[in-house]
Each structure stands twice: as structure tokens, then as C-alpha cells.
Structure 1
Amino acid sequence: MIELVLLALSAALGAVIRGYIVSLKLFDRFSLPYGTFTVNVLGAFMMGLCMPIVAQESLLYFMIIFGFLGGLTTYSAFTLDQLRLFEAKAFKELARYTFTMMFFCLVALALGLLIGVSF
């Protein structure tokens, strides 16, 4: 039972940090939702960094990978952003946002893994 409480608390912390980052006024000047982009790329990097360092199947692994990073990153907001761009018929921006997000998340994950394996 305590494991579920710790998982929930770590997910809540990730969600609070995501909410803070996404709400930064810095992102208001852009037409694309770079707040969501930022948390997803950051989360992908942290995922890559933590996976080789933290023992799999441990409580800390579940708290970081599924809890904190699951709360921090957001695929649902990413797809909602895509829908809004589609509805606005901003197809060029939709394609740029989608492929940029996927590319940079993969690069961030790979970079995190490379650094994490070095530890």
C-alpha cells in the first residue's frame, strides 16, 4: 500500500512541475505549444538518464519512471495540441510540431541513455 502512495506522490510532483513549466509566460509568445514540447523533451532526457542508473523493479524505479516522469510528461496534451492545430487548419505547423516533438524526444532519450550508462 505504501508503494502506491509513494507512486501517487511522485506522480503528483511531476504533474505540478509540468503545470508550472507549461504556464510560464515565456511560452505565450509562440504559436506552437512549446510548454508541452519542453516537458516532453525534458522527461525523455530524464528517462534515458535514470533507466540505466536506477535498479529496475525497485520502488525508486517505479517512483521515478512511472510516477514522477509519468506525471511530468504528457502525451495527452501533445495529442490535444495536435487536434487544435488540425482544427485551425494549421497543417504545416501541425507537421512541424509533431515531427519536431518526436525527433527531439528520441534524441533527448538517447542522450540521457548515453550519459546514464556512463555513470
Structure 2
Amino acid sequence: MILLLLIACGGGIGAVLRYCVIRLVTKYHRPSLIATVIVNSIGSFFSGWAVHHTLDEPIFSAIFITGVLGGFTTFSSFAFDAFRLLDAKRYNICLYYCLCMIIFSFIAVVLGYTL
């Protein structure tokens, strides 16, 4: 029961951090698409780091990976942004956005794991 509470608290922390990063990026008139790529890349980096360094600590992994990073990263925003681009018939931008998200997130995981 305590572990579930700690995971929930971690998720809240991650959600607040995501909100802060997105507000910071969009404050400088950059589209929210870039903010989502940044958030998911940062989350992927720390996921790679955490998986590599916390394999022997399942409680920390649960709180940090499932809680904090689960609240911080946002696949649903990625999917919704891609849908909005398709709906607006901005097919090239949608393809570029999806490729960037996948490539940057993968590179970030690899970097986080190896550092």
C-alpha cells in the first residue's frame, strides 16, 4: 500500500515537471509539438539511465520509472498532436513529427543507458 502511494506521488511530481517544461518551451512561442518531443526525449533518457542503474532496486525503479517518468512523459499528447496534424491535412509535418519522436526518444534511451 505504501509503495502504491509513493508511485502516485512520483506520478504527481512527474506531471508537474511536464507541465513546467511545456510551459517553459511554449513561453518562447515554440509549438507544443516541440515541447512534447523534448519531454519525451528527456523521459526516455532518464528511463535508459534508470533501467541501467536501478535493476537491483525494484522499489526505486517502481517509484522513479513508473511514477515520476510515467507522469512526466506523455504518449497521449504525442498521439493527439499527430492526430491534429493529420486532421489539418499537414501530412508532411505529421510524418516528420512522428519520426522525430521515435528517433529522438530511441537515441535518448541509448544515451541514458550508456552514460
Name the TM-score, length of structure 2 as normaliser: 0.93
**How is 1:34-49 mapped onto 2 (pairs within 5 angstroms)?**
34-49=34-49
Q: Does 1:86 align with 2:86?
A: yes
**How is 1:47-86 mapped onto 2 (pairs within 5 angstroms)?**
47-56=47-56, 58-86=58-86
Q: How far off is 1:59 after superposition?
A: 1.0
Structure 2: gaps (5+ residues):
none
CA distance in 2 between counterparts of 1:55 and 1:113 reads 12
Write out per-residue CA displacement over residues 68-118 of structure 1, whole angstroms, 9 at most, x where no aligned residue: 000000000000000110111110100000001100100000111111xxx
Q: How many residues matched? A: 113
Name the TM-score, length of structure 1 as normaliser: 0.90
Letter matched to residue 80 of structure 2: L
Q: What root-mean-square deviation, in Å, do the aligned CA atoms of Structure 1 and Structure 2 show?
A: 1.2
Greater than 2 Å deviation, 4+ residue runs = none
Task: Indicate the structure with greater helix content.
Answer: 2
Cross-structure match for 1:9: 9
CA distance in 1 between counterparts of 2:76 and 2:56 reads 26
Cross-structure match for 2:33: 33
Letter matched to residue 108 of structure 2: A
Q: How far off is 1:11 after superposition?
A: 0.5
Structure 1: gaps (5+ residues):
none
